[in-house]
Each structure stands twice: as C-alpha cells, then as structure tokens.
Amino acid sequence: MEGVEKVNIDDLVVLAVELTHSTLLETKKFRTLIDEEINQNHLKMVVDLSKCEHIDSTFLGAIMMTLQKLNEKGGKMKIVEPSNPNEDIFDVTKTHELFDMYKTREDAVKSFKLTK
C-alpha cells in the first residue's frame, strides 16, 4: 500500500505508516492490508505511527479493530507513538491505555523478543 512500508522480521510484521493525513480512503486500504496479514497468520505486529502528522478517528478505529482481531487470535500489537504531541489522538480519546505504546520502533520490536 502506498504510504505504508511493510517489513517482516522473523514472525513479526512492522507496518510503518508514512501518511501525513489519514482519510477514509487510506483507512480502508490500511484495513485491507492488515486483514491480509492476519489471514496469513501474521499475528505479531508493530504499527509505527512516528511519521504521522495527523491521525483521524477512522484510522484510530481501524487500529482498535486490528487490536481486537489480533487478541481474539492470540496475537499482539505494539504501537510506535506519533511524533507530534499536539496531534496525539491516543491521549485525547484516552485510548492509549488500550495499547502497548513505545517511543521508537526499535523498542517495540525488542519488546516482542523479550516476551518469547
């Protein structure tokens, strides 16, 4: 998907979201990408939002649905925090408590290796 870089590290999928603004169209494409990964039994994910300037509620909803799907299948998802603290929708909506949040991609990836 344009705007999302996918990297596989062993059984871990890292999705680096490089969209400056997420709209409904990008959210639909992102959900399709995520669903394909889950259908391929890729149940460990890092969603890197560090390059996102703005995350809207539809995109946040897609991330929350992904977390639910992964939890139902015994998977895990870690989030790399957006770098723009003024646009942190996770704090505004109080959803940061639902996610395992990390400052860097390296820390999020490392956290999977520590829990093996």
Mean pLDDT of 75-86: 84
pLDDT digits (tens, 9 = 90+) for 25-76: 888 999 999 999 999 999 999 999 988 877 888 888 999 999 999 999 999 9
- Global pTM reads 0.88
Domain 4-114 belongs in CATH node 3.30.750.24: yes
Strands of the sheet containing 100-102, edge to edge, are 4-9, 12-17, 44-48, 76-80, 100-102
pLDDT reported for residue 96: 73
Mean pLDDT score, 81-96: 71
Cα 7 to Cα 114: distance, rounded to the nearest angstrom = 19
